[in-house]
Amino acid sequence: MSRPSSWSIGRHRPRPEGPLTGYKIAYPMISADSRRGGFNGVALGRSQVYGAVADAVCIQSPRHRCPSSWCDCGFYCFHALSDARDLACDPQYQHCVLLEIAASGRFVRYELGLRYARQTVRSVRLGRCGCGRPATALADGGPGVVGWRRLHPVCGLCAGPRPVVTPEAFGVLCGNVPVRAEEALDDTLAPLAGVGAEVDDATIVPLLSAEVALLQARLDQVQSRLEQLTHRSD
């Protein structure tokens, strides 16, 4: 992710003893042969896929070490999980997952986060499916990069019969990283009373039939209007 313009450089602080914890968003990726999992950055690193442990590389110049003070290179993260969550609300990042990472090596500290050389992904949170329910699996979706397909977090209902990767399986593909569904999405949003999370065939068939009848009626209207217009222009 590129450094947001609102990020000001923080005051110098003593070097930490160990890795620093941070939070960021990324697209979950699976290799073309489905044997490896990884992550794709959302801005500067869009063309690259990184694994659970990775060293930053500069795409502008291979001649300096990341993060260079006169370049934008390096990994980026926020100090606070809430800031990463806020960024995930932007429509262009809707299908991202949230990563908790450990930053090590050279780093630059900003008020909101860090730019750093080495990253270890400690855990992955799947977040929400596009429908608003907690995501429980990952399905194919969106554009990939050479050698990698992009995955989208989905819930069981939206996944339907599509093949999915379970959180556990994705964690193993990434080198045993814990991957979990969001512990608790806020309870402000809930299904309407009487509409359960499980919709069985007996319920869905009349609903779909009613929807088809409505569509048919609308199609008839459009067709007759089209005929009127066609005859008028004859």
Q: Which residues bind to Zn ion, rule: CB under 5 A?
A: 58, 60, 68, 71, 73, 129, 131, 133, 155, 158
Separation in Å, CA 159 to CA 21, 125, 156: 33, 18, 5
Which residue, 3 or 133, has its beta carbon nearer to Zn ion? 133
Instruction: Supply the minimum distance, in Å, between the C-beta of residue 106 and Zn ion.
Output: 12
Instruction: Supply the minimum distance, in Å, between the C-beta of residue 33 and Zn ion.
Output: 28
Which residue, 73 or 173, has its beta carbon nearer to Zn ion? 73
Instruction: Supply the minimum distance, in Å, between the C-beta of residue 32 and Zn ion.
Output: 26
Q: From the CA atom positions of the chain, what is the Rg in Å?
A: 23
Query: Any residues with CB less than 8 A from the CB of 10 and at least 6 apart, and which?
Result: 109, 110, 111
Separation in Å, CA 41 to CA 67, 150, 223: 16, 11, 48
Instruction: Supply the minimum distance, in Å, between the C-beta of residue 232 and Zn ion.
Output: 46
Which residue, 121 or 181, has its beta carbon nearer to Zn ion? 181
Q: Whole-angstrom Cα distance, residue 154 to residue 130? A: 7
Largest CA distance in the chain: 84
Which residue, 131 or 214, has its beta carbon nearer to Zn ion? 131
Instruction: Supply the minimum distance, in Å, between the C-beta of residue 58 and Zn ion.
Output: 3
Which residue, 60 or 224, has its beta carbon nearer to Zn ion? 60
Paired sense of beta strands 148-154 and 137-140, if any: antiparallel
